[in-house]
């Protein structure tokens, strides 16, 4: 730990000394089993720290999970609270998280949002070859969700697209 930095800690009362203590090893104070959620469930997240794989987060103030770097398209900081979704519950009981809902419903919402945006501005300088960051900054969705949404709009002949550009069909 460094002076002047902020850290997420677990605060507790020591049984023997009756003193208030804090530990940055929050993993020691959360449950690792007996969770009652399923893949796709929305959960409350508290970002704990950054790791080699991504960001460790406390789920619903009880459990620990991981947001992989490739699932994060915005700046997040330890101590930040946000909504997330259970992406996968692995065999060994570890929980993978995402900051975006999954499933077809999310794609339909994204399609509607892009279509409404196109009706207002006429064209958008994003497409299949745009960077994930550009897409997230504009629509707050992953590149994968964006591509599925514009693919659906294209199949419905509602838009025309190029590598870095989409517009309403004539």
Residue keyed to tokens 């279509």: 115
Same domain, 64 and 111: no
Give the residue from 45, 79, 98 where a domain finishes.
98
Which tokens in the block code for residue 162?
């190029």
Q: Are residue 41 and residue 63 in the same domain, yes or no?
A: yes
What pLDDT shows up at residue 103? 62
Place of tokens 């850290």: 7
Instruction: Quote the pLDDT of residue 52.
Output: 93
What is the pTM assigned to this prediction?
0.65
Which pLDDT does position 105 carry in this prediction?
56
pLDDT block averages, 10 residues each, the chain of length 170 = 85 92 84 80 92 93 90 85 90 86 69 88 88 84 85 89 85
Residue 66 has a pLDDT of 93
pLDDT for res 106? 63
Residue 22, in any domain of the structure: no
Output the domain CATH number for residue 75.
2.40.50.140
Distances (CA, A) of 37 to 91, 129, 137, 147: 15, 36, 30, 29
Question: 126 is in which domain, residue-wise?
Answer: 104-168
The structure tokens listed for 90 are 């692995």
Which residue shows structure tokens 């994930």?
132
Mark which of 41, 63, 98 sits at the end of a domain: 98
Examine the domain organization and report whether 111 and 54 are in the same domain: no
Q: Do the Cβ atoms of 142 and 110 come closer than 8 Å?
A: no
Question: How far is 134 from 61, CA to CA, in rounded Å?
Answer: 32
């Amino acid at each position: 730990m460094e002076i002047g930095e902020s850290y997420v800690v677990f605060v507790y009362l020591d049984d023997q000394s009756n003193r208030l203590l804090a530990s940055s090893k929050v993993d020691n104070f959360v449950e690792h089993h007996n969770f009652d959620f399923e893949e796709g469930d929305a959960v409350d997240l508290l970002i704990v720290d950054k790791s080699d794989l991504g960001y460790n987060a406390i789920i619903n103030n009880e459990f620990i999970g991981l947001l992989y770097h490739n699932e994060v398209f915005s700046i997040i900081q330890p101590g930040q609270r946000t909504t997330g979704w259970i992406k996968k519950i692995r065999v060994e009981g570890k929980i993978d998280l995402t900051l975006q809902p999954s499933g077809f419903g999310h794609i339909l919402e994204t399609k509607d949002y892009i279509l409404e945006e196109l009706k207002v501005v006429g064209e958008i300088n994003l497409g299949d070859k745009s960077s994930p960051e550009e897409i997230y900054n504009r629509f707050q969705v992953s590149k994968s969700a964006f591509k599925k949404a514009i693919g659906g709009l294209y199949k419905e002949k509602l838009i025309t697209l190029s590598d870095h550009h989409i517009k309403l069909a004539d």
